[in-house]
Copies of this chain bind each other. A is one copy, B any other.
Amino acid sequence: MRLALVGFGTVGQGVAEAVALKRELLKEHFGSDLRIVAAFDSRSYVYDHDGLDPLALVERKKAGKGLGKVRRKEVSEMLSELDYDVLVEMTPTNILDAEPGYTNIRTALRCGRDVVTSNKGPLALKYRSLDQLAKRNGVELRFEATVGGATPIINLSRELLLAEKVDSMKGILNGTCNFILSRMGEEGLPFEYVLKEAQEMGIAETDPSYDIDGIDSASKLAILTNAIMGQNVTYHDVRRTGIRMITQEAVALAAKEKKVIRLIGEVNEGGVEVSPRMVPIGHPLAISGTLNVLHMHTDLAGAITVVGRGAGRKETASAIMSDLVGLLKRNACLVNGRVK
């Protein structure tokens, strides 16, 4: 299976490392070799039909060098010309117009390539059209890495809980907000102080709006709502309240009732919403730190909760590997009717 990696920052490098680490294991299991044949960063690219050395790519990037040649065309133009099986799209999320990810993904799907992505923009804004395009072309669009970091919640719901009807979902989908709210509760500190601390630790961005105003959580909730509950919503359909207005006093009052305040994304019959809520201590949603969690209610299983690290190089690479394993499984099944 020949991969084209678009975006070679933290996530792209993590995927290259994971491919190097797991290549033998996957070859043994599926009889199929995972080869990176193309890699693109914002300015340069490299292509070799026989496969590139993943760790050498990471070394070049770490040394501050480009990946190979300077790129003179749009990535999407090259994606329609080069030969590969799977586009792994890892450009940064853009919640305004979903570019350049949207065009990259559309191009690959149109050319009959499978796509695995960690880019939330295209899924949060244009899920339905991308899903239809993939189906029309008989290929797969997988996006486990867009939500919940390393937790394989989308594949869990779609593959293992296939016989279940998911009635409602609740989750904590942003590790930065959860870190801030946890610290406020556990140390009795004010919002502004903890935000500054999170920025110094690299947990929050210099412009923290994307996290603390719930934009990131709302994007992820829209993706989950479509993928797991079969709905057709976008980021703009999510009612959204962030955590800027949460005071020390509110946190202390919650604590008196043995509760914590968390930024919860919820989808139920009433709609799709991200807002701060009180959660009883001991409830699976009352977790601390930068963790992410999704709590689903289904007709047979009742409540199932999955918790994992929300972000990180290896964690996101893990989610992308989970999608690549899904494609390897399907290929093994298509080729010879055998799959372990």
**A positions within 8 Å CB-CB of B:** 18, 21-22, 25-26, 29, 150-152, 155-156, 159-164, 182, 186, 258, 260, 281-284, 286-289, 291, 293, 298-309, 312, 314-315, 317-319, 321-322, 324-325, 330, 333-339
Contact = CB atoms under 8 A, between A and B. Distances in A.
A130 to B, nearest CB: 18
A69 to B, nearest CB: 31
Contact of A282 (B152, B286, B314, B322): B286
A304 B151 contact: yes
A90 to B, nearest CB: 16
Given A150-B301, A284-B287, 19 more contacts: A18-B163, A151-B301, A151-B304, A156-B156, A159-B159, A159-B160, A163-B322, A163-B324, A300-B318, A301-B308, A301-B309, A301-B318, A302-B308, A303-B307, A304-B306, A306-B306, A306-B307, A333-B337, A336-B337
A305 B18 CA distance: 21
20 contacts: A18-B163, A18-B300, A26-B163, A150-B302, A152-B301, A155-B160, A156-B156, A160-B325, A163-B325, A182-B282, A282-B287, A284-B293, A300-B321, A302-B315, A302-B318, A304-B306, A305-B308, A333-B333, A334-B338, A336-B337
A186 B258 CA distance: 10
Nearest to A258: B186
B318 A298 contact: yes
Contacts of A336: 337
A189 to B, nearest CB: 15
A22 to B, nearest CB: 5
A162 B323 CA distance: 11
A287 to B, nearest CB: 6
Shortest Cβ-Cβ A-B pairs, 3 listed: A282-B288, A150-B301, A300-B318
Contacts of A324: 163
A321 to B, nearest CB: 5
Contacts of A291: 284
Nearest to A323: B160
Contacts of A288: 281-283
